Structure 1
Amino acid sequence: MNKYHNELTQREKDMLKLRRDSDTKATELVKMEKMLEQTKNLLDKKTESPLDSKGYQENMEDLEEKVRSSRRYRRNSLHHTQMLESQMKTVKGELVGTLDHLQELRNVLRRSQQKAEERKAAMEKLAAGLR
């Protein structure tokens, strides 16, 4: 009887072990099913994303065009600034020349006014001498 009892105990232990193993496997199976579902969802999102990636690509192309446009605008602005600086130097040179010419004319005018005043004074002396 003892022999049967040991055999029965051993079989009960094996059965408990099998139950634990099956519980563990069932839990692992549930986890794997969840992972499979998540993977499937990610895959579905990936297959839907060509529209998104197309939008992303269009957005990137728009950004690249804006960068190119900004660079062109910057080059054009730089060129325009250089032209304006060159024109400003030319105008400044002309202004310096004009200022010099005006100073010469002012000096000529002063001398003419001095001579006119001297002649007027001489004429007044002559007129006073003739009276």
Structure 2
Amino acid sequence: RERELLKIRRDSDTKAAQLLKMEKLMQQTKDLMDKRVEDLEEKVRSSRRHRRNSLHQSQMLESQMKTVKGELEGTLDHLQELRNVLRRSQQKAEERKAAMEKLAAGLR
């Protein structure tokens, strides 16, 4: 009977030691999992911040692009007006030159 009691006590001590090891291992695993969850949550927050910043920057660039496009269209219109003025001036100059040559020929 005492042997059985001794054996039961030893088994009990062994089981208790194993249980402690398992609890320690489970705590380490839980701590590791908690750390991984925290890391993933931070990555998600960082990704969201980056996405918001990227969206804001994209919107700013689109606005700037629209402004520049409007300026370019205005500049193009102005250049076309200047081209038309230059053509009219050249045409008048050619007409005057022809008239001068005609007068010069008439004076000879």
TM-score, normalised relative to structure 2? 0.78
CA shift, 1:46, in A, is: 3.1
Q: 2:23, 2:105 → 1: CA distance? A: 116
Letter in 1 for 2:69: K
1:30-83 Cα distance to aligned partner (Å, 9 max, x none):
xxx9xxx6xx85763233222221111111111000000000000000000000
Bigger Cα Rg: 1
C-alpha separation between the residues in 2 aligned to 1:109 and 1:42?
A: 98
Unaligned runs of 5+ in 2: 1-10
For 1:102, give the aligned amino acid. Answer: L
CA distance in structure 1 between the aligned counterparts of 2:22 and 2:87, rounded to whole angstroms: 92
Q: Which residues of 2 match residues 48-63 of structure 1 at below 5 A?
A: 48-63=25-40
Q: Which one of the candidate residues 65, 74, 92 is aligned to 1:88?
A: 65
Q: CA RMSD in A?
A: 2.1
Among all aligned residue pairs of Structure 1 and Structure 2, give the percentage whose two residues are the same amino acid. Answer: 73
- Count residues with an aligned counterpart: 96
